[in-house]
A and B are shown apart, each in its own frame.
Chain A
Amino acid sequence: MAMIKLENVNKYFGDLHVLKDVNLEVEEGEKLVIIGPSGSGKSTTVRCMNFLETPSSGHVYIDGTELTPKNKTKVVRDLTSMVFQQFNLYPHMTVLKNLTLAPMKLHHKSKKEAEELAYHYLDIVGLRDKADVYPTTLSGGQQQRIAIARALCTQSKIILFDEPTSALDPETIQEVLDVMIKLAKENITMVVVTHEMGFAREVADRIVFMADGQIIESGTPEHFFTNPESDRVKQFLGKIIR
């Protein structure tokens, strides 16, 4: 059974048809990378997977349960985490509080358990020494690593990444990618919207190319980078890889 399943998902923003009949399945533990030009509907697609955007029509299934506006809070709480382009750490809390809030308030962990978990994941992202500082004192790359640690702290089966490196300075992109590459070795289901082709090539089990709200092509990295079928993909890759 697929971990995530989108069935004929359409999304309109006013008159704008941003997702056109999107069908997509992600298996448990799969690393799926979504690429494509800006405005192609990549972000909207991942945002439909945790109902940050409610589809205008179609169905979204997470681990076999259909997401509805009613059950979304519970399903999202139990199964998914998200890493955002703009990090979206809570600026009024220390790093440690950022990490322990959801485990304590939503997953009924004790303070001690939650903090152990937090330090464990801070070690993984290499920022244990930043536990007691406020997020705004950190660099973009550090903030994003903290955001990844926060996503890990809820121990969700699925982590959605919405352009996690697009807001970063070039020199801090790699430190975030390195953490994500490390994660990819775990059995977490990862859906990553990105422009980082090197990352896609190294980590993806499957790459999906989107344009104009549709999935144009889908396949292994090897297929994509050696002999893509669609001209649209060739054109895109030609522009982005130099």
Chain B
Amino acid sequence: MSGLFSPRAWNKIWIYKGTFLVGLLNTMKTAVVALLIALTLGIIFGLMATSGKKLLKAISRVYVEIIQNTPILLQMCFLYYALAFSGHSPGIIVTGFLALGIYTGAYMAEVIRTGIESVPKGQFEAAAAQGFGYVGQMYYIIIPQSIKVILPPMTNVIVNMIKNTSCLYIVGGADLLSLTYSFVTGENTGGSYAPAYIVCGIIFFLICFPLSSFASMWETSLKKREQKVFQNNALKEA
């Protein structure tokens, strides 16, 4: 019954397709909310890292290093169980939002830091010399130049985040992978292991593949454009 080519197993998946749709919906919901948290954290800590203020830089560094150098599963367990035992159980859904948001935020912060640092120092100076304050410099001059450097890797971070919703499985989430697991182990529904995981994988692939190919195409075209500008300048110099 669990066989890859068993028509009954595939039929079962068709009957219970709703389970997969609910899982997909939960995964996307988690991803969207976590993305908002991650963006907020990423912008705050990314700006702190480029502020030139030692204390702010240190705080940002500590956040990024701790999050990037411990497993996401550990962070999820910690958040869920630590909060649960302290009597403030936020529930699985909120744990998912928070854990995934905090985790992804660290990667966002790095992407934003790198993007801002890619803008030459002379741009900050030109803006400051005209009398733009920090916000004006960022808004009119720095962000518009760094956004094209930031967006492609940011898309990759988002793809990873969508895949990482499956880690919620460890605290018993309702995301796509967790529901697939409950489905194949369920009393009435169980058994269709291989087909169920294939379907789950295909769904993830269908969301993530377009995003990541979009990101890499974008990156390639940016590089081409830069090369063109460079060649134009070289021609003029010659």
Contacts and interface: CB of A to CB of B under 8 A. Distances in A.
Interface of A: 50, 52, 73-74, 76-78, 80-82, 84, 86, 88-92, 101-102, 105-106, 136-137, 139, 154, 160, 169
A102 B130 contact: yes
Nearest to A73: B133
Contacts of A169: 237
Interface stretch (B140-148, B168-176, B211-219): B140-148
B131 A74 contact: yes
B131 A84 contact: no
Contacts of A77: 130-132
A102 B132 CA distance: 8
B126 A84 contact: yes
A90 B126 contact: yes
A213 B144 CA distance: 38
Interface stretch (B23-31, B195-203, B228-236): B228-236
Given A105-B136, A136-B229, A76 B131 contact: yes
A106 B125 contact: no
Contacts of B229: 136
A106 B129 contact: no
A160 B126 CA distance: 12
A139 B232 CA distance: 11
Interface residues of B, number: 21
Contacts of A92: 144-145
Contacts of A52: 125, 128-129
B210 interface: no
A139 B125 CA distance: 21
B123 A88 contact: yes
At the interface, is chain B mostly helix, strand, loop or mixed?
helix
B224 to A, nearest CB: 15
Given A76-B129, A90-B145, A136-B233, 8 more contacts: A50-B128, A52-B128, A74-B131, A80-B129, A86-B120, A106-B132, A136-B232, A154-B130
Contacts of A84: 122, 125-126, 129
B122 to A, nearest CB: 4
A88 B125 CA distance: 8
26 contacts: A50-B129, A52-B125, A52-B128, A73-B128, A73-B133, A74-B131, A76-B128, A78-B131, A81-B130, A82-B129, A86-B120, A86-B122, A88-B126, A91-B145, A92-B144, A92-B145, A101-B130, A102-B130, A102-B131, A105-B132, A105-B140, A136-B229, A136-B232, A154-B130, A154-B131, A160-B129
Contact of B129 (A81, A101, A139): A81
A137 B130 CA distance: 23
A84 B123 CA distance: 11
A88 B129 CA distance: 11
Most buried by B among A92, A105, A136: A92
Contacts of B236: 139
A50 B132 CA distance: 12
A16 B236 CA distance: 39
B123 A90 contact: yes
B140 A101 contact: yes
Most buried by B among A76, A80, A90, A139: A90
Contacts of B129: 50, 52, 76, 80-82, 84, 160
Contacts of A137: 232
A102 B133 CA distance: 12
A190 to B, nearest CB: 15
Contacts of A139: 236
Nearest to B233: A136
B139 to A, nearest CB: 9
A130 to B, nearest CB: 14
A137 B237 CA distance: 11
Most buried by A among B120, B131, B141: B131
A73 B127 CA distance: 10
Interface in B110-129: 120, 122-123, 125-126, 128-129
A62 to B, nearest CB: 12
Contacts of B120: 86, 88
Interface string B42-67: 00000000000000000000000000
Nearest to B137: A73
